[in-house]
Structures are given as structure tokens and as C-alpha cells.
Amino acid sequence: MGNRSLAAGRRKVGHQAVPKWLGLAVAGLVAAGAPGCAEKTPKPDEPTPVRLVTWRPNQPEVWDEVFARFEARNPDLKVVREVGPHSTTAFHALLTQKLKNQSPDVDVFLMDVIWPPEFGSAGWALPLDERFPPEERAQFLPGAILANTYEGRLYGVPLYLASGMLYYRKDLLAQHGFEPPETWEEMVAQAAAIVARGTEAGEELHGFSGQFKQYEGLVCDMLEFILSRGGHAVDPRTGRSALAEEPALEAVRFVRDRIIGGAAPRGVLTYAEPESLDLFVQGKAVFHRNWPYAWEVANNPEKSRVEGRVGLSVLPRFPQGESTATLGGWQVGVSRFSRNADAAWRLVSYLTSFETQKLLAIRAGLAPTRRAVYEDPEVLAAQPHLGAMAEVFATAYPRPRTPVYPAVSNVLQRYFSTAIADRSSDLDHLAREASAEVDRILDLAR
């Protein structure tokens, strides 16, 4: 039977007479509220639930305190958390499936910095312009506001900022008379010298640890190499892929030949943030690339064997380029399908308030998006590196801003993973194929 016949069949069934007993049963269910079909209405003395879809945090106790404070200040509301996976890729899949289905079980959600164009274009995120006036936006770093803006409308409020940074063992560098490396070649050379001395002493030590598993973190790491060589994944001037151009090729070749299985163990091909940080805090790596949150972990005596011996610097560069960090961070959005947008906005406002950002900075080492938090004496006393790195946060480079970024990222993840895993790989061929695929996807959004 064709589609037209099926549709006609459905219409015919829909007009058949309903037996009297079935009609009475249905009426009874509607009156009583069929189990699982109707949303539970809170009793008058119960707080209204605000449903938040979030990821599994690195510091759950800090976030528990944030929500406890919110509920103490808003006794008429109760935060109901659905905790998704830590991986941004897996969390994106979970969240978008709910939003595609227009699920009422989502009021507020967290967004990676790359998602606002997608969520705004798809009609999943509620525009927040009227609730978030210009004078309030001015309290935030401009780059963070820009990341939440698509076609002139605002779809999220910045929660915290992140950018790639170089962590290093300052005690080991001092023993060899080294300063933090300015170039990638210098970092590799320093790592080789320090590891060689450690091997002679019978220590298990590697030169570098980063995120090279096939996921979004790999894209962030690889873009930092490419951008610091003067290249791009997508050229912002032309809107076309630049993966097959020499600066990008040279950067990828350097990672394949000098980092993987060289300065870093081959195991980093399976490392996301937790695994790569664990190698460093266990005292088994000289250099480590990560986000700001890693500072608190690396200097926590309950979690780290190298506390007090960790230094922080901007990422290295190639001689032809400048140090460049990938812009990261998370935003808070409101579902367009929320049945209680006012309550949802109250939660968004509190999560992105000065009070919450100060708490997250001090207790979790998360970089604020509000300007004033960087000047707070208590924040600077607890996290002195935040003041020193404020300029880096403000000038970190965003990933390609397009509503089809998830599809672009999927291509980049596959390309980078294949390219760096095998030293015999034909980079020119792989880059041309990936570049053509990226351009085809970008054309869909034009």
C-alpha cells in the first residue's frame, strides 16, 4: 500500500464509530488523569519544579551547593536535575534529542560555546533579548556574549569561560634551568631533556599530555596547533575550509610526528580531559594542555601528587604564528518548549549571577564571564592565576560559528583522529577529502 492509501486508511479508521464502553473509559481516564500521560501538577504547598539538563560535573559538591543556595533564595522553586554524560559529544546527542521532541521535561539546559547558533537556528532555544537587557550584558566579557548571539538575537547567558592553557612542572623546569616554552619545538626539546634525565633515575615520565581521543576535545587541541601556525580549519575571510592549506597541514604533521608517540605517549589517542589530567597529577607528565578547571585539581593535595609544583602559561606557538587558545566554556539556555519560562529565567539569572560565578571561581577554578569577578579580592587570593590569564580568556579564538557546526566537527574529529594516529598517513589526501566534505556541509547553511 502506498503512502496515500495508508493516509486514507488512517482517515477512515479515525471516522469509525467509537463503542460506547470505550468512550466512557476514555472519558474516565481523562477526568482522573491517565498515569504517565499527564504532567504531575504540584500541590499548592509544593515548590514548582524547574527541570535542568546538565552534564556530570568535575566538582559535584560545588554544584550541589549552588543549587542549594538557589532553592534557599527561591523556596517556591525546586531544581530537578537530569545529569547527562561528561562527554560534550554524548551530552549534545542527549540534549538535542529531547529538544527535537519538544520535551516538556526540559526548562533550562547547559550549552557548549559552539551550540547557540545551532539551537537558535533550529528554534530550540528561547530568545532572551527582552529578559537580558544591554546594560546587563555589558557586565560580561564581550566575546562570551558574542558566542551566544546568532543573527542578532541572544540565545544563552555565559556561565563560565574556558580556554586552552599549558600546565607544567615548574620544579622540573627549574632543575634544568628552563623557562616555560614559547614554541612547540621548544616544548618538545625541553620535554625530551627532562624525560631522559627521569628515565636514567628510573622514573616513569612523559613529556606531554593532552586530549587526542576522537571527540570535540580533539578538535579544540588540534585547532590550537593550527591557529598558532597561522592556519584555520575554516577561513573566516572566505567561509571555506583551509584544512588542505600548508599552515594547517604543517601543524597536523607536527602533532603526528612529534607529539603522538614522541613527546606524548601513544595512549593519548584515547584520552579526554579526565585521563590526560590524571597522567599529569600523578606526576607522570612534564607538560599538560587543559582548561582552567584543572588548576584546582592539580593543586589539590587530595587529588594530586604534584600540588604546589605546578606552573601555568599560555600555550606555545610555531615561529610563524602567535599563541592561540581555543575558546571554550558553557552557557545557560531556556527551552522554547518550557511551560514555565519565568521560573526557568530565575534559575538562569542565579546560575550566571556574580555570587554564583564567584563561588565557581573560588571553589571549582572556573573562569568567570562577568568582568567584575576578575577584580574580586577573594577570587584573586584563591585563584591568582585567573587575574593573570584574564586577557587570554578575553581573546581566545572561537571555533567556526555556524548552525551546522556539529556536522563540521564530526568531519574534523574523524580527519584529525585518522591523520595523527598513523605516521604513514597521506595527509595531503586526507586533508583534501575532509576539506571538500566540510565545504559541502557549510554550503547547506548558506
Three-class SS of 304-352: CCCCCCEEEECCCECCCCCCCCEEEEEEEEEECCCCCHHHHHHHHHHHC
**This prediction's pTM:** 0.76
| Residues whose CB falls within 8 Å of the CB of residue 277, separated by 6 or more in sequence, listed in order | 209, 288, 290, 294, 297, 298
N-term to C-term CA, the chain: 38
Q: State how far the Cα of 291 lies from the Cα of 23, in Å rounded to an integer.
A: 60
List the grid coordinates of 297. 585539581
Residue 8 confidence class, pLDDT cut points 50, 70, 90:
very low
Determine the longest span between alpha carbons in the chain, in angstroms: 91
Can you give the pLDDT at residue 40? 54
Q: State how far the Cα of 420 lies from the Cα of 5, in Å rounded to an integer.
A: 53
Q: State how far the Cα of 62 lies from the Cα of 351, in Å rounded to an integer.
A: 12
Q: Minimum mean pLDDT among 50-59, 175-184, 345-354: which range?
A: 50-59
Q: How far is CA 330 from CA 98, 112, 187, 352, in A?
A: 19, 5, 30, 11
Can you give the pLDDT at residue 24? 37
Can you give the pLDDT at residue 292? 84
Classify 228 as helix, strand or coil: coil
Can you give the pLDDT at residue 219? 97
Between CA 133 and CA 141, with CA 137 as vertex, the angle to 5 degrees is 175
Please, which residues bridge with residue 332 across strands?
110, 157
Q: What percent of the chain has pLDDT over 90?
A: 77
Residue 42 confidence class, pLDDT cut points 50, 70, 90:
low
Contact call for residues 398 and 147 (beta carbons, < 8 A): yes
DSSP sequence for 395-443: HPBPPP--TTHHHHHHHHHHHHHHHHH-TT--HHHHHHHHHHHHHHHHH
Q: How many CB atoms lie within 10 A of CB 30?
A: 11
Q: At what angle do helices 405-421 and 427-444 cross, to 10 degrees?
A: 180
- Strand pairing class (327-334; 157-163): antiparallel
The yes-or-no verdict on residue 320 having pLDDT over 60 is yes
Classify 56 as helix, strand or coil: coil
The yes-or-no verdict on residue 142 having pLDDT over 70 is yes
The yes-or-no verdict on residue 1 having pLDDT over 80 is no
Contact call for residues 223 and 399 (beta carbons, < 8 A): yes
pLDDT digits (tens, 9 = 90+) for 202-220: 999 999 999 999 999 999 9
Amino acid at 80: V
